[in-house]
Amino acid sequence: MSKREQFLAGERPEDVALYLADSFVSGDGGLADHGETVERGTVLVVEGDRGRSVFKTATDMDAMGFAKRAMGTDGDVDRDLAGGDCPECDADPTFIFAFAEAQNEDVGGLYGEGDVIHAYAYCECGTAYADKWVAGGEE
């Protein structure tokens, strides 16, 4: 099972996942070599602090600041973290930042069902949007 599959199944709660479109990793032997190649980019799963640092270096944005910004707009991120549907246009995301939050039955709702994947995407058009789902769940 790949790191990405483990992350999506909720088995790597200490890690973060990053999707970076080919425009971010083309010609960069480092990031592309350390992630999993997908149709239009690369998905990396790395330890939390290191992952936030990689995100900052690649996007010039603070990961948690970006997540906070994206929370204001609901959108659809592909459950495999390799794309999404922008709520404002028909373009693909240029990057996605995701982390898992442990199941919390006291909170209820989605959080009572299992670990929750939080995914924040940034579209080519400049829209930042968010999605979340139960780890290991289907769309």
Residue 139 inside a domain? The answer is no
pTM value is: 0.92
Number of domains in the chain: 1
pLDDT digits (tens, 9 = 90+) for 93-132: 999 999 999 999 998 899 999 999 999 999 999 999 999 9
Q: At what angle do helices 48-59 and 63-70 cross, to 10 degrees?
A: 80
Structural domain of residue 128, as residue ranges?
A: 3-134
pLDDT digits (tens, 9 = 90+) for 19-66: 999 887 665 556 667 789 898 899 999 999 999 998 998 899 999 999
pLDDT digits (tens, 9 = 90+) for 61-94: 999 999 999 999 999 999 999 999 999 998 889 9
What does the alpha-carbon distance between residue 100 and residue 135 come to, in Å, rounded to a whole number? 8
What does the alpha-carbon distance between residue 133 and residue 28 come to, in Å, rounded to a whole number? 31
